[in-house]
Amino acid sequence: MTPEGFLRLVNDITIWKKGSQRAPHKPLLLLLMLGRSVHGAARLITFSEAETRFGELWRRFGPPRRGLVQYPFQYLVHDGIWEIPRASELPSWGTGYLRLTDLRKHDAEGGFTGEVSELLESDPELALRAAGLLLAKHFPISLHDEILEAVGLSYAWLVPGSPAVREPGKKQRMVIYRRPRRLVFRKEVLEAYDERCAICDFDLRINDELLGLEAAHIQWHSHKGPDDVFNGLALCLLHHRALDRGAVGLEVKGTGYRVLVSGQVRGSNPSESLLSDFSGQLIRPPRSRLHVPRRTYVDWHRAQVFRN
Q: Are the C-beta atoms of 111 and 43 separated by less than 8 Å?
A: yes
The stretches in the chain having pLDDT less than 70 are: 154-180
pLDDT of residue 154: 62
pLDDT of residue 160: 41
- Report pLDDT digits (tens) over 108-141: 999 999 999 999 999 888 999 999 999 999 999 9
- Identify the three-state secondary structure at position 163: coil
pLDDT of residue 30: 98
Q: Are the C-beta atoms of 139 and 221 separated by less than 8 Å?
A: no
pLDDT of residue 178: 52
pTM: 0.83
- Identify the three-state secondary structure at position 84: coil
Show Cβ contacts of residue 23 under 8 Å, excluding neighbours closer than 6 positions: 15, 16, 17, 63
Residue 197's alpha-carbon distances to 140, 184, 221, 233, 284, in angstroms, are 19, 18, 20, 8, 8
Residue 51's alpha-carbon distances to 29, 41, 107, 166, in angstroms, are 10, 17, 10, 33
